[in-house]
């Protein structure tokens, strides 16, 4: 069993990571660090693990853990690592955005690799530190990677993606209150969302830069991302389906659906479902993920499995509840 430390364990991402690790056959939680809840039961913040663990939140860290997951707010991981030392052999997985935008980021002797397994599995397997992708970035990149590899777009790509309220984090804001969010829909950060940087980095890395027009939206549900992207496409639907099936043939969590997809089919799983629709010369790609699992904690465990040499699906064979 590999010992795990979780930093920032009282939020949504930390809570989801705790839930997943508790049922992972090769990982064991050593400590869950929280400055706001030290000494309190983990189940006080995450009642869904009541009866499954007696762990208490702690305000101290143990430097000898095998894996360290950073579930802090964006921009806080570097500061935390500056102020705390860990073993040279500790695998660090950052679920924030501190190390995502560089092809290879060296920090305190660790080389952070961008952790999108469908993009660069071999590099991840050799990594000592992972920059876990953002949730929107995961859904959108998985929608575009096959087109990028095959240089199948020549014009701008228009993207619309709606995320649940957990995407905003556990801290309250005016747009996360039930009375505002319920029966409501709105956009935010139009054309400027921070996850665009990751997507452009990947497309440039693949020598397939694109003009992207991205409209993020807040949905009146808790979990998941429903993303659509469309662009001019010169080819048949059968050609596009072959390109996608071929690209993801060895990806255990990314699946191409022949029928239209909906969000509930992937919520609570580490899956990404993709559907293709061709209208005249426009290809519509629909991509669905759970923002807390494939878009965060599940992908963090998927990357851990790859680095440890375990089955990629270990501890992640989860089923959605559609009805």
Active site (catalytic) residues = 135
Rounded Cα–Cα distance for residues 307 and 121 (Å) = 9
Rounded Cα–Cα distance for residues 219 and 216 (Å) = 10
CA distances from 141 to 153, 174, 197, 274 (A): 14, 30, 11, 11
Q: Can you give the C-alpha Rg of the chain in angstroms? A: 19
Q: Are 119 and 97 in contact, with CB atoms under 8 Å apart?
A: no
Residues in the chain: 323
Residue 259: count of CB within 10 angstroms of its CB: 6
Rounded Cα–Cα distance for residues 226 and 72 (Å) = 25
> What's the token pair of residue 240?
């596009």
CA distances from 61 to 70, 84, 90, 96, 115 (A): 12, 8, 13, 19, 24
Rounded Cα–Cα distance for residues 217 and 236 (Å) = 30
> What's the token pair of residue 185?
């829909």
Residue 74: count of CB within 10 angstroms of its CB: 13
Q: Count the alpha carbons within 13 Å of 37 in the hemisphere toward its beta carbon.
A: 20
CA distances from 174 to 7, 40, 178, 179, 262 (A): 26, 28, 9, 9, 28
First to last CA, the chain: 36
In sequence order, what are the residues at sequence separation of 6 or more whose Cβ sits closer than 8 angstroms to the Cβ of residue 188?
175, 216, 217, 218
């Amino acid at each position: 069993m590999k010992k795990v430390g979780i930093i920032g364990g009282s939020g949504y991402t930390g809570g989801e990571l705790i839930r997943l690790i508790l049922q992972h056959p090769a990982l064991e939680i050593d400590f869950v660090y929280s400055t706001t809840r030290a000494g309190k039961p983990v189940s006080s913040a995450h009642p869904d693990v009541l009866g499954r663990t007696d762990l208490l939140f702690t305000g101290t860290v143990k430097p000898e853990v095998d894996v360290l997951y950073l579930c802090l707010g964006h921009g806080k991981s570097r500061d935390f690592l500056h102020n705390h030392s860990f073993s040279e052999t500790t695998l660090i997985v950052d679920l924030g955005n501190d190390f995502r935008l560089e092809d290879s980021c060296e920090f305190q002797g660790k080389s952070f690799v961008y952790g999108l397994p469908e993009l660069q599995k071999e590099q991840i397997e050799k990594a000592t530190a992972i920059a876990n992708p953002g949730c929107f970035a995961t859904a959108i990149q998985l929608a575009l990677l096959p087109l990028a590899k095959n240089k199948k777009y020549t014009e701008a790509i228009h993207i619309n993606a709606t995320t649940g309220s957990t995407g905003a984090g556990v801290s309250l804001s005016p747009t996360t209150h039930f009375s505002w969010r319920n029966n409501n829909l709105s956009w935010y950060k139009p054309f400027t969302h921070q996850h665009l940087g990751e997507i452009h980095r990947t497309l440039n890395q693949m020598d397939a830069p694109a003009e992207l027009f991205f409209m993020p939206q807040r949905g009146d549900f808790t979990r998941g991302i429903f993303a659509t992207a469309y662009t001019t496409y010169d080819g048949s639907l059968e050609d596009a389906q072959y390109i996608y099936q071929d690209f993801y043939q060895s990806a255990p969590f990314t699946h191409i659906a022949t029928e239209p997809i909906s969000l509930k089919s992937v919520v609570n799983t580490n899956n990404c479902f993709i559907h293709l629709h061709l209208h005249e010369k426009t290809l519509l790609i629909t991509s669905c993920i759970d923002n807390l699992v494939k878009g965060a904690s599940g992908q963090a465990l998927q990357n851990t499995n790859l680095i440890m040499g375990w089955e990629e699906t270990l501890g992640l064979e989860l089923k959605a509840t559609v009805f």
